[in-house]
Amino acid sequence: MLDPHFGRALNIPLSRAYEYYKDIEDYVQRYPRYYGSIDVIDKTENSITTRQFLNLSISVDQDHVKVDVRYTFFPLKEIQYEIIRGYDEGLLRIVLDSPIKIKRRDQANALSK
């Protein structure tokens, strides 16, 4: 059976995908299953540092984590994020390539508006 979360693919401009993923503060509304809360600690033109409560099952005894995350934005190219405090500290990246194919239904619906 097909997972309804992955209902359609949508080709979108790189600029639109970048703006969608850059809006970190909106992740709680977009992904309520995973993001319990996001509080902004610091924000500049090219970065944002947040304190996040994530609904993730890490073990039988732990069904959430609290982390501080610093996102750094390289317009239309890359979004880096580093967990600077909490579970699984380290640097990760989201690299945006053209064309962008969004396969998640909630992302496709939000981007097509």
Indicate whether 96 pLDDT > 60: yes
pLDDT at 8 over 80: no
**Three-state secondary-structure class, residue 49:** strand
Domains of the chain: 10-111 (3.30.530.20)
Mean pLDDT of the chain: 79
Number of CB atoms found within 10 A of residue 29's CB: 11
| Cβ–Cβ < 8 Å for 66, 52 | yes
Q: Report whether pLDDT(59) > 70.
A: yes
